[in-house]
A and B are shown apart, each in its own frame.
Chain A
Amino acid sequence: MSVRSSSARTNPTNTRSSRRRTFFTIVVLFVIIAVFVVRLVDIQVVQADSLTKDSVGNRSVGQVIYGSRGEIVDGNGVVLAGTVMRYNITMSPVNATPFKRTVDGKKVELSVADAAAEIGAATGQTGDAILLTISTALEANSKANFAYIAQKVDVDVLRAVQELHIPWTYSENSPSRVYPNGAVAGNLLGFLSGEGVPQAGLESGQDACLASTDGSETYEKGADGVRIPGSSVTGTEAVDGGDVVTTIDSDLQWFVQQTLAARAQETGAAWANAVVQDAKTGKLLAVADYPSVDPNNVGGTENPDDRGSRAFTQSFEPGSTFKALTAASVLDAGVATLDTGVVAPYRYLPSNGANINDSHSHPDQNMTLTGVLIDSSNTGMSKFGEMLTDQQRYDYMKAFGLGTATETGFPREDGGILHPADEWDNQTSYATMFGQGLTTTALQIASIYQTIANDGVRMPVQLVEGCRQADGTLTDVPDTTGTRVLSESAANDTSDVLEMVYQKSWVNAKWNIPGYRVAAKTGTAQMPDGHGGYSNGYLVSVSGFAPADDPQYVVSVSIADPVKLNTSAAPAPVFQEIMSQVLKKYRAVPSGASAPDLPSTW
């Protein structure tokens, strides 16, 4: 200002040029300001999003915090399925170049081949295999920055690789599922796919309880990878899954599986299963299948049908073990007593046109219900069964839980085939008295015996106690209210009959448990050939409970098509071993009371 006024005073022409200069300066200033404003708007508004993203990407690190999938534990808290952290060893193929390493104070250069050999020694591969991985990755993409060296390795391998300090190798977390007890309860647990998706069993059925939610965390780090103090941390917390508490006893489960597998292999069986159930609560203590999958090595079980639990998913015609249900129905309805007698011929041709015969030829016999069950006579059973109408027997079967899947909630559980009584043809009307013409699962048979053992009250079949949350509370606890199916006296009478069967059966020597009172029944049922007829194979089974004077445990064993021994002599020793183990394990002390002695003839 002072400059202008002084020059104005000295020279008028200078004043004009001075104004022009001023004007020019102002214009230049405005242009410069305009440039800055445009740039500012460009940065702050137009490119704001991408620049922010870039800046965050440069200094902040986001990482996944893995939520831990819940455990599956047995009734005693033993972990049957758990989550462990495994690690993937990765590398950057494009950066796989020779590097220098300090050994004993001297710098040594390592070639890629040397490094690959060292990695291979740590991960159990050959160096050549790792070089091949590098070259394959680079062939597919000459700037490939990522390739797996090894996946899901344990911490020892991870540390061995990390100690090599090879600059182009990295690691990442990879949570995995582990089953510490292997195939023990593998049939029930199911397994996950490689991507962690539940495929079968409890893993699948209880996924709502087990599933976890991964969280994330973002923080800012310096060039050396250390978190900048006070930098903003944003993210969501990981939520761990709940634990599924089952009713299974893992030690017993192992014993049952081992015993069953030994006998199934000895007799050349196609498959087999065994169920141990608590008679008073309906809880399943063991459900064994042969063959059985090891969830740690699912591929080791070739047939996909062997990877689940046939005890739940495969129904079959039960055969003579079913006669206990018919006997109980007849006794409960009051149409016969333990003293009622029938004449059992070898072949019985009822008025409706059915044709029933026994397994072996014999003259007419005067039998009580006890005698019919001891000899497992189909004709005798038919004469008792026809005392009830088809509808009455159907109603009893429904009350015993047949025709619908049990309460376990196991995935793909089979409910068996039970047609309504008015759809039964003449033969089916009689066949359903001795366990043909309908199908049941091994669990449903066990449940029938549980009902008889528990004074006629059927308890819901229970496999899962509930879902244990992080705070220790148990949620999703299944209903455990029993339903009365039989009167107490009918149940006890049936139990006495089954105890007579145990004592007098031809397999007595094979299932005898010294000192205990046991109630049991054998079954030998022809198996369907898949084309509407019967094959030459038999499904042989034994079901029963002990101690008979105060029943506590139900054991049911089924062996399908044991080609080397297709009679009840195949499952009887398994029943004996399992029941002995159960009684010993749970300290079921024999009462010493004497067994009933019922007449089998009249």
Chain B
Amino acid sequence: MSDNLARVSFAVEREEFEAPGRRPFRIVSSSPSRRTRPRIFYALTAVAGMAAIIVAQLLLSVGISQGAYEISSLQSSQSELGRTAAGVSEDLARVSSPQSLAANAEGLGMVSNSNPVYLRLSDGAVLGAPASASGSQAGAASLVPNALLTGSTLLSQLPDHAAAGTVAITSAPVVPAGLAAPTTR
């Protein structure tokens, strides 16, 4: 502010200083109104410029702060989503553990047949001695503990609708009243 004013007064002084040398040629044009108007004009320009700068700076600062809040909230939502993702993948690792898979398979009535037999396609030869599965081979109870599975429920023990929801079994789409069959006579 003071800087601008100084410049204005300097300009005025210079004008006054130069004036004596040129006075004979500038009588008509050197009216007082002509000399004072630029002062106000310059002052207003300077003040307006300052105001513009201040407003711009304020807006910028508000914008940056707004951005900071936005970043902060996005970061916290990112960390929340990260936590959710970590929790879900932890659950996935837990239920895909061998104990969980074996218990669920046996719960669904599956049995393991450890007697390997191969059919060689080139000549149709059967390699190995086929025998039927002898039922649960390693015993139904898990002898390899997993503390993480404490309290988890087997799929086969879930209520029907819950099981369907959990494993996302989508039944075949229901066709209303059957497909419209073409009637030909």
What residue in chain B is nearest A156 (Cβ atoms)?
B87
CB neighbours of A79 from chain B (8 A): 93
Is A359 on the interface with B (CB-CB < 8 A)? no
CA A180 to CA B96, docked complex, whole Å: 8
Asked if A589 and B118 make an inter-chain contact with CB atoms under 8 angstroms apart, the answer reads yes
CA A180 to CA B86, docked complex, whole Å: 13
Task: Among B67, B87, B98, B129, point to the contact of A250 (Cβ < 8 A).
Answer: B98
Q: Convert B125-150 into 0s and 1s, putting 1 for each residue whose CB lies closer than 8 angstroms to a CB of A.
A: 10111010000011100111111110
Q: List 6 A-B contacts (CB under 8 A).
A: A178-B148, A254-B144, A262-B143, A515-B127, A584-B116, A590-B127
A258-B142, A296-B148, A592-B127 given as contacts; is B116 within 8 A of A580 (CB)?
yes
Asked if A229 and B139 make an inter-chain contact with CB atoms under 8 angstroms apart, the answer reads no
Q: Convert A349-386 into 0s and 1s, putting 1 for each residue whose CB lies closer than 8 angstroms to a CB of B.
A: 00000000000000000000000000000000000000
CB neighbours of B98 from chain A (8 A): 181, 184, 250-251, 254-255
How far is the CB of B116 from the nearest CB of chain A, in Å? 4
CB neighbours of A250 from chain B (8 A): 98
What residue in chain A is nearest B67 (Cβ atoms)?
A229
Asked if A300 and B143 make an inter-chain contact with CB atoms under 8 angstroms apart, the answer reads no
CB neighbours of B65 from chain A (8 A): 229
Chain A interface residue number, banded = 35 or more
A227-B68, A227-B72, A590-B118 given as contacts; is B143 within 8 A of A514 (CB)?
no
How far is the CB of A213 from the nearest CB of chain B, in Å? 21
CB neighbours of B164 from chain A (8 A): none
Is B114 on the interface with A (CB-CB < 8 A)? yes
A82-B93, A154-B87, A515-B117 given as contacts; is B144 within 8 A of A228 (CB)?
no
Asked if B128 and A255 make an inter-chain contact with CB atoms under 8 angstroms apart, the answer reads no
Q: Convert A221-248 into 0s and 1s, putting 1 for each residue whose CB lies closer than 8 angstroms to a CB of B.
A: 0000011111000000000000000000
Asked if A258 and B97 make an inter-chain contact with CB atoms under 8 angstroms apart, the answer reads no
* Interface core residue of B84, B116, B128 (most chain A CB under 10 Å): B116
The 8 nearest A-B residue pairs measured at CB: A182-B146, A514-B129, A515-B128, A254-B98, A261-B143, A180-B93, A584-B116, A297-B147
Asked if B93 and A183 make an inter-chain contact with CB atoms under 8 angstroms apart, the answer reads no
Asked if A258 and B127 make an inter-chain contact with CB atoms under 8 angstroms apart, the answer reads no
Is B102 on the interface with A (CB-CB < 8 A)? yes
Is A335 on the interface with B (CB-CB < 8 A)? no
What residue in chain B is nearest A258 (Cβ atoms)?
B138
A258-B138, A297-B145 given as contacts; is B84 within 8 A of A155 (CB)?
yes
What residue in chain B is nearest A230 (Cβ atoms)?
B64
Is A84 on the interface with B (CB-CB < 8 A)? yes
Asked if B144 and A183 make an inter-chain contact with CB atoms under 8 angstroms apart, the answer reads yes
Asked if B83 and A85 make an inter-chain contact with CB atoms under 8 angstroms apart, the answer reads yes
Q: By DSSP majority rule, is chain A's interface helix, strand, loop, or mixed?
A: mixed
CA A226 to CA B120, docked complex, whole Å: 69
Task: Among B67, B71, B114, B149, point to the contact of A584 (Cβ < 8 A).
Answer: B114
CA A74 to CA B148, docked complex, whole Å: 19
Task: Among A84, A229, A580, A581, point to the contact of B86 (Cβ < 8 A).
Answer: A84
Asked if A180 and B143 make an inter-chain contact with CB atoms under 8 angstroms apart, the answer reads no
| Chain B residues proximal to chain A, CB less than 8 Å | 64-65, 67-69, 71-72, 83-84, 86-87, 90, 93-94, 96-99, 102, 114-118, 120, 125, 127-129, 131, 137-139, 142-149
Asked if B114 and A226 make an inter-chain contact with CB atoms under 8 angstroms apart, the answer reads no
Asked if A581 and B114 make an inter-chain contact with CB atoms under 8 angstroms apart, the answer reads yes
What residue in chain A is nearest B63 (Cβ atoms)?
A229
**A 504-553 contacts with B by CB, 8 A:** 514-516
* Interface core residue of A158, A226, A292 (most chain B CB under 10 Å): A226
**A 249-265 contacts with B by CB, 8 A:** 250-251, 254-255, 257-259, 261-262, 265
CB neighbours of B144 from chain A (8 A): 182-184, 254, 257-258, 261, 292
CB neighbours of B147 from chain A (8 A): 182, 294, 296-297, 300
Task: Among B86, B125, B131, point to the contact of A514 (Cβ < 8 A).
Answer: B131
Asked if B128 and A155 make an inter-chain contact with CB atoms under 8 angstroms apart, the answer reads no
A294-B145, A300-B147, A590-B127 given as contacts; is B138 within 8 A of A262 (CB)?
yes
Asked if B128 and A590 make an inter-chain contact with CB atoms under 8 angstroms apart, the answer reads yes
CB neighbours of B102 from chain A (8 A): 254, 258
CA A300 to CA B148, docked complex, whole Å: 13
Asked if A226 and B131 make an inter-chain contact with CB atoms under 8 angstroms apart, the answer reads no
A85-B83, A589-B127 given as contacts; is B145 within 8 A of A254 (CB)?
no
Asked if A226 and B69 make an inter-chain contact with CB atoms under 8 angstroms apart, the answer reads yes
Is A214 on the interface with B (CB-CB < 8 A)? no
CA A182 to CA B139, docked complex, whole Å: 18
Asked if A254 and B99 make an inter-chain contact with CB atoms under 8 angstroms apart, the answer reads yes
CA A187 to CA B137, docked complex, whole Å: 23
Asked if A182 and B72 make an inter-chain contact with CB atoms under 8 angstroms apart, the answer reads no
A156-B87, A297-B147 given as contacts; is B97 within 8 A of A181 (CB)?
yes
A84-B90, A226-B72, A514-B131 given as contacts; is B145 within 8 A of A300 (CB)?
yes
Asked if A155 and B83 make an inter-chain contact with CB atoms under 8 angstroms apart, the answer reads yes
CA A154 to CA B83, docked complex, whole Å: 9
A154-B87, A258-B138 given as contacts; is B146 within 8 A of A296 (CB)?
yes
Is A583 on the interface with B (CB-CB < 8 A)? yes
**A 478-515 contacts with B by CB, 8 A:** 514-515
CB neighbours of A265 from chain B (8 A): 143
Is A577 on the interface with B (CB-CB < 8 A)? yes
**A 544-595 contacts with B by CB, 8 A:** 577, 580-581, 583-584, 589-590, 592
Asked if A155 and B87 make an inter-chain contact with CB atoms under 8 angstroms apart, the answer reads yes
CA A13 to CA B11, docked complex, whole Å: 47
CA A254 to CA B118, docked complex, whole Å: 24
What residue in chain B is nearest A179 (Cβ atoms)?
B148
CB neighbours of B138 from chain A (8 A): 255, 258-259, 262, 577
CA A592 to CA B69, docked complex, whole Å: 73
What residue in chain A is nearest B137 (Cβ atoms)?
A577
CA A82 to CA B148, docked complex, whole Å: 13
What residue in chain B is nearest A185 (Cβ atoms)?
B144
CB neighbours of A592 from chain B (8 A): 125, 127
How far is the CB of A493 from the nearest CB of chain B, in Å? 26
How far is the CB of B7 from the nearest CB of chain A, in Å? 29
CB neighbours of A296 from chain B (8 A): 146-148
